[in-house]
Amino acid sequence: MLPITHGIWASNSSGFNTFYQDILDYATGQGYTLPSEDQQDLQNDLVESMVNLGVWDNLDVFYVFATDAGSDFARINWIDPNRNYAQLYNTPSFTSNEGYTGRVDATPAYIDSEFQVGVTGANFQNSDASLFVYVFDDLQNIIYGDVGVVATSFGIGEQYAAINTMMPPQGALNKRAEYSLLEVAAQIQTDVATSIGLSHVDRASSSEVKFFKDGSLLATTASTEVAISQTLYVNFLRGRFAADYSERTVSIGGAGGSIASAASDFGTAVTTYMTSI
């Protein structure tokens, strides 16, 4: 659940939030190309909003792949720049101000945050978890996994966590997102109009999950939780199963404890950033 937040953000002499300045300082030390000055202001506003909402302190990883900086900067974990620098597998393509695009072929391209959920000290735990991704483009596919909690082996019936931001119409079924979050049974499906935007699945109890699109609550579903019993990592452009890769473009993503109570304002903050760059 969300921690009690201080309601204000600390700034330094540059006028930037100190958390955002830490990101810039890390990138400068690594020799990465920084965002433009205008975009730095937008990114600082995003951090400020997340801090004031109490979202920042409740996340473990948060990536802004959509930036006009270099692709190296896009892989920084904003929550802690010194940890969980995103690793690229089979070279997903980077496009300025859009993000990373996956590939589905014999050598699928995806991103591994190397963040392990459920470990001591992590915010992402049983009955207190969130997983989200902002997708830039409108593509339909049955098996795409835009973000997932991935294990090296899978237990029967254990769904762990994943979001496919839009599946195509099929029979009597409409366009729909498919998702799970530490779920015992089959994945949950909720009607959506597009894969574009912020898709967010959230669990604040052992008995239900909530699904938000751009901050709007679309579904609350009874869901029996499975315990985190394996080594599980947050991946982007890859879902919960070995074949669940994605050809979409991911712009923003992250994971942590439940942020359901701030989902609406968080969705607004993310959308404001994406529509401003």
Share above pLDDT 90 across residues of the chain, in percent, rounded to a whole number = 82
9 pLDDT band, cuts 50/70/90, is very low
User: Which one has a higher pLDDT value, 82 or 184?
Assistant: 82
pLDDT at 152 over 80: no
Sorted by where each begins, the domain ranges of the chain are: 81-267
For the chain, the distance separating the N- and C-terminal CA atoms, rounded to the nearest angstrom, is 31
* pTM (predicted TM-score): 0.94
pLDDT tens digit sequence for 227-262: 888 889 999 999 876 678 999 999 999 999 999 999
Distance separating alpha carbons of residues 273 and 277, to the nearest angstrom: 6
CATH number 3.90.550.10 is the correct assignment for the domain at 81-267:
no
pLDDT reported for residue 2: 60
Identify the CA nearest to 24 among candidates 47, 7, 6. Answer: 47
What lies within 8 Å, CB to CB, of 34 at 6+ separation is 24, 27, 28, 40, 69, 73
